Amino acid sequence: MNICLSITALILVSATQLFGNAQAAQPMKFLERSYELYTLELSLPRAVPSRLTVRPCLECTPDTLQLANSSLFYIGREAVPYAQFATHAKTRSYSLTIHYTPETKVVTRMVAAAN
């Protein structure tokens, strides 16, 4: 029984050291970042592809993002064309989340509340 416990302990210690070293060698990379704001706080462009300037707070520096043909648009959980999304966003102030790739600043998706 002591031999089994010793072998198990040795395996756990070795695995922990391997995993710990692998984690230390790899810096954390953000695959996506997001802004949360309201639709009426944002001036949406007329069409895609285009640029979108986001200012998450009054004191914050504006950030320019790219709306690409690959960008997706949702009202609630429903995927919609950009024109429908833009019309919905202008009707009243809905919560909005903009997800983008940090390296390229390309918007991957925008999600506006349905109601």
Mean pLDDT by runs of 10 across the 115 residues of the chain is 41 52 67 92 93 90 95 97 95 94 96 93
Residue the block writes with tokens 């069409």: 47
Q: Say what the pTM is.
A: 0.74
Please say whether the beta carbons of 39 and 52 come within 8 A: no
- How far apart are the C-alpha atoms of 89 and 94, rounded to whole Å? 7
The closest alpha carbon to 39, from 52, 27, 24, belongs to: 52
Tokens of residue 45, six digits: 């462009």
Check residue 111 and give left, alpha or beta (phi > 0: left; psi -120 to 50: alpha).
beta
